[in-house]
Amino acid sequence: MLLSPSTIPPGILIDKHIKQLNEATNMITPFIDHTVRQRDGVSCVSYGLTGVGYDIRLGNNFKVCTRQEAINPKDLKESDYDHYDASVSNNKITIFPNWFVLGASYETVNIPDDILVDVLQKSTLARCGIHVWVTSINPGQEGSIVFEIKNDSKTPFILDTMEGIAHFRFHKLSEVPEDSYRKAGTYRNQQGVVIPTFGG
Cβ neighbours for 123, distance < 8 A, ≥ 6 positions apart: none
Nearest CA among 86, 89, 194, 90 for reference residue 148: 194
Contact 54, 167 (CB under 8 A): yes
Task: Check 148, 163, 175, 178 and give the catalytic one.
Answer: 148
148 is catalytic: yes
Beta strand 28-29 with 108-110 is antiparallel
10-36 burial, b at 16+ Cβ within 10 Å, e below that, comes to eeebebebbbebbeebebbeeeeeeeb
Residue 50: Cβ within 10 Å count: 18
Residues carrying an active site annotation: 148
